[in-house]
Amino acid sequence: MRELAPAKINLCLCVGPTRADGRHELLSVIQSVTLCDELEMRDGERDEVLCPGVDGPNLAACAIAAFRRVTGWDGAPQRIEITKRIPVAAGMGGGSADAAATLRLLARRSGLGDADALLALADELGSDVPSQLRPGATLVSGAGERVTPLAGEARLGVLVLPSNATLSTAAVYARADLLRSPRAATELEELAHGDPSALTGVNDLEAAALSLEPSIADALALARRAGAARAMVCGSGPTVIGLFDDPAAAARAAGVLREAGVDARAARPFPRAASTFG
């Protein structure tokens, strides 16, 4: 069985106060894009996840264990091989995408796990996982556990500029708390009932990411020179994305930058209909 795990971009990210559980309240519009990892699952000798080029624990392996614990499924051990194309530790949710795709695969293989159960399980795995259970455009609130699919498909092109730097998500949030007062929970609620597209390009973590990794400023300037209508840090960074009104223009810009020796990639919105879940 095979499944695509699309990367996500945050078209906006508004950060609110810290909750009692230590997680931040937030409001974000997340869009899955066509930069995807590929997962292949088959019966094996034991549950395991192979992801060449990525060291350390893998969230997809945690997803297998959690799925068995929550559903009680005692099917054959599963071996998952991941072909990695999403930049690692880049703010594009690659690990979360792999975990969400793993849950979709396990639900298909076992016939277990309804939508509510998988959503709760996804939240247990990490704040980015629930929004990636059903790839597409999603309004995310709470600390990531409240997800509302958005109708329609955005027509935009995305220029992706990965970075060789690494940023800890926790460190970026901590720096953001030092640099600015968080938005009030009431403000997030008001924004959630407004027009999500009006927030496109807003990222409350961008200043914090820049302060921790100044080279991001060069990437933002590069995206603007390449013709992006908006350039912003993706999630907690350090990846920078440029948003284009025309997908073909984003592809041309990425091609020009690659010819100049820049690691640049182009992507489009990932169609929700391509998801096998839900």
User: Which residue, 112, 129, 152, sits at the end of a domain?
Assistant: 152
Dihedral angle sign, alpha carbons of residues 32, 34, 37, 42: positive
Q: What six digits make up the tokens of 74?
A: 């005692």
Q: Do 25 and 128 belong to one domain?
A: yes
In a domain, 250, yes or no: yes
Q: What is the pLDDT of residue 277?
A: 43
Q: Give the whole-angstrom CA distance, residue 90 versus residue 26.
A: 19
Q: What is the pLDDT of residue 48?
A: 95
CB contact set of 153 (below 8 Å; sequence gap of 6+): 136, 137, 269, 271, 272
What does pTM read for this prediction? 0.90
Q: What is the pLDDT of residue 278?
A: 39
User: Which residue, 102, 117, 152, sits at the end of a domain?
Assistant: 152
Q: Do 138 and 170 belong to one domain?
A: no
Q: What is the pLDDT of residue 132?
A: 93
Q: Do 54 and 134 belong to one domain?
A: yes
Q: Do 6 and 136 belong to one domain?
A: yes
Q: What is the pLDDT of residue 273?
A: 56
Q: What is the pLDDT of residue 95?
A: 93
In a domain, 129, yes or no: yes
What does 21-72 look like in DSSP terms, one character per residue?
TSPEEEEEEEEEEEEEEEEEEEE-SS-EEE-TT--S--HHHHHHHHHHHHH-
Q: Do 142 and 162 belong to one domain?
A: no
Q: What is the pLDDT of residue 55?
A: 79
Q: Do 44 and 133 belong to one domain?
A: yes
Centroid of chain to Cα 215: 22
φ/ψ of residue 230, rounded to 5: -140, 140
- Residue 67 belongs to a domain with what CATH number? 3.30.230.10
Q: Determine the structural domain holding residue 45 and report its residue range.
A: 2-152
Q: Do 167 and 144 belong to one domain?
A: no
User: Which residue, 152, 174, 204, sits at the end of a domain?
Assistant: 152
Considering its fold, how many domains does the chain have in total?
2
In a domain, 272, yes or no: no
- The closest alpha carbon to 28, from 130, 109, 107, belongs to 130
Centroid of chain to Cα 107: 21
76-116, pLDDT tens digit by residue? 999 999 999 998 888 899 999 999 999 999 999 999 988 88
Q: What is the pLDDT of residue 167?
A: 92
Q: What is the pLDDT of residue 198?
A: 87
Farthest-apart Cα atoms in the chain, separation: 54
CB burial string 108-143: b at 16+ within 10 A, e below: ebbebbeeeebbebbbebbbbbbbbbbbbbbbbbbb
Question: For the chain, which ranges sit under pLDDT 50?
Answer: 277-278
φ/ψ of residue 226, rounded to 5: -75, -5
Q: Do 29 and 144 belong to one domain?
A: yes
In a domain, 135, yes or no: yes
50-80, pLDDT tens digit by residue? 998 887 778 999 999 999 999 999 999 999 9
Q: Give the whole-angstrom CA distance, residue 31 versus residue 69.
A: 30
Active site (catalytic) residues = 8, 128
Q: What is the pLDDT of residue 28?
A: 95
Q: Give the whole-angstrom CA distance, residue 62 versus residue 77.
A: 14
In a domain, 193, yes or no: yes
